[in-house]
């Protein structure tokens, strides 16, 4: 996958504080609009395949159990796939499925030439070893880029799938016209899905960020984040990054998706990120909202991987 070298900038207007009328706030990076652009690009390529008489790319999504959050994420993936012309099915299994049965499902999908991409929605129930299931997916169908072979290829800078959330973050930065090369980039969080692979992507030759990865044991975190030109938060703690932890003009990418109680909502909760948006947006030059920032990009880049798997 190539990153776009001439970014189309999709930013909302810089706007004054709606309460005081002064204090210009950060520009919002509109992840929904940028992800919609990427889905259109994918659709164009899918249409070209169909015009050549090839079949549509096909994604199998495996969902185990009845966690409402996972079910909602998976619905979003199917809806986005349909927009691009990528066909997808939901293979739903009860939380009681055994690890062996699930490994059997994966083996059948691996062997089916009509299946281009396989996505197993995580987390899996406690009696199933997530890593064992990830290891069982054919690396050529691993559109999450979670398989150790694909993680190794990423580490070495070889061609292949890119992990969806980290690749989505890099695309958000590039398509917002943000210079990454040489920038002091601080990632808060060291997960296998976001923090670690994002550090590797940002370090690659051609992207060239200077990367610091922080985590729960990091000492003097605010001192480190105050040096950052770009901050990516991926720790799952609502409102963790506050205005006193950032310098003026920082670019902030918020990967957090935290449910907080909200009696005014029918659902009883609302989604917030890891960033204290009201405070930090007064100092940042650019910031992603939650929802509507990184989330739609993750799905778009996973679909990009599905198309690449079919090509
Ligand atoms: N659960 C939370 N994020 C993800 C993701 O990116 N892929 C999969 N498969 N499961 C997830």
Tell me which of 93, 109, 140 is where a domain ends. 140
Specify the ligand 1 atom closest to the Cα of 165: 6
pLDDT tens digits, one per residue of 24-75: 579 999 999 999 999 999 999 999 999 999 999 999 999 999 999 999 999 9
Average pLDDT over residues 5-26: 52
Residue 32 lies in a domain: no
The distance from CA 194 to its chain's CA centroid, rounded to whole angstroms, is 8
Q: How many domains, the chain?
A: 2
Task: Assess contact for 148 and 192: CB atoms under 8 A.
Answer: no
Which positions are annotated as active-site residues? 77, 121, 144
Q: Which of 121, 194, 294, 306 to mutate to test the pocket of ligand 1 (most atoms within 8 A of CB)?
A: 121
Do residues 182 and 273 both lie within one domain? Answer: yes
The answer on pLDDT for 1 being more than 70 is no
Query: Taking the model in full, what pTM does it have?
Result: 0.93
Tell me which residue range forms the domain holding 271.
163-297
Q: What is the structure's pLDDT at 7?
A: 42
* Spatial contact of 244 and 221, defined as CB atoms under 8 Å apart: no
Domain check: are 167 and 292 in the same one? yes
Is residue 164 in contact with ligand 1, taking CB distance under 6 Å? yes
Residue 83 shares a structural domain with residue 181: no
Q: Is residue 181 part of a domain?
A: yes
The verdict on 177 and 229 lying in the same domain is yes
What's residue 10's pLDDT?
52
The residue behind tokens 């405070």 is: 279
Eight-state DSSP code of residue 11: B
**Final residue of a structural domain among 140, 171, 195:** 140
pLDDT band at 82 (very low <50, low <70, confident <90, very high): very high
Q: What is the DSSP letter of 304?
A: H
* 150 within some domain: no
Question: Does residue 252 lie within any of the structural domains?
Answer: yes
Pairing of β 230-233 and β 251-254:
parallel
User: Each residue of 280-294: pLDDT tens digit?
Assistant: 999 999 999 999 999
Q: Do 223 and 216 touch, CB atoms closer than 8 A?
A: no
Condensed to tens digits (0 to 9), the pLDDT of residues 161-183 reads 999 999 999 999 999 999 999 99
Bridge partners of residue 63, in order along the sequence: 92
Q: Is 305 in the pocket of ligand 1 (CB under 6 A)?
A: no
Are 143 and 298 in contact, with CB atoms under 8 Å apart? no
Query: Which residue lies with its CA nearest to atom 4 of ligand 1?
Result: 122
Please tell me the distance between residue 19's alpha carbon and the centre of ligand 1 in angstroms. 38
Domain match, 236 and 130 both: no
Residue 60: CB within 6 Å of ligand 1?
A: no
């Amino acid at each position: 996958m190539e990153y776009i070298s001439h970014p189309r900038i999709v930013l909302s207007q810089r706007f004054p504080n709606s309460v005081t009328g002064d204090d210009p706030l950060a520009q919002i990076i509109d992840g929904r609009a940028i992800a919609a652009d990427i889905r259109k690009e994918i659709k164009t390529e899918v249409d070209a395949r169909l015009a050549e008489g090839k079949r549509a790319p096909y994604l199998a999504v495996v969902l185990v159990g009845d966690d409402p959050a996972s079910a909602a994420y998976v619905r979003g993936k199917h809806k986005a796939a349909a927009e691009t012309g990528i066909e997808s099915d939901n293979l739903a299994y009860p939380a009681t499925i055994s690890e062996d049965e699930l490994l059997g499902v994966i083996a059948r999908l691996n062997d089916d030439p009509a299946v281009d991409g396989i996505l197993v929605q995580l987390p899996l129930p406690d009696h199933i070893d997530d890593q064992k299931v990830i290891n069982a997916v054919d690396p050529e169908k691993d559109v999450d880029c979670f398989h150790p072979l694909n993680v190794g290829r990423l580490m070495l800078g070889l061609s292949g799938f890119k992990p969806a959330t980290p690749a989505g973050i890099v695309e958000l930065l590039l398509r917002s016209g943000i210079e990454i090369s040489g920038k002091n980039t601080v990632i808060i969080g060291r997960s296998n899905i976001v923090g670690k692979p994002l550090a590797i992507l940002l370090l690659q030759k051609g992207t060239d960020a200077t990367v610091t990865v922080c985590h729960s044991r990091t000492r003097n975190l605010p001192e480190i984040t105050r040096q950052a030109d770009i901050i990516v938060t991926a720790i799952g703690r609502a409102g963790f990054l506050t205005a006193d932890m950032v310098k003026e003009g920082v670019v902030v990418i918020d990967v957090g998706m935290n449910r907080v109680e909200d009696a005014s909502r029918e659902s009883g909760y609302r989604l917030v990120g890891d960033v204290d948006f009201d405070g930090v947006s007064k100092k940042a030059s650019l910031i992603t909202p939650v929802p509507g920032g990184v989330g739609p990009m993750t799905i778009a880049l996973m679909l990009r991987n599905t198309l690449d798997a079919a090509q």
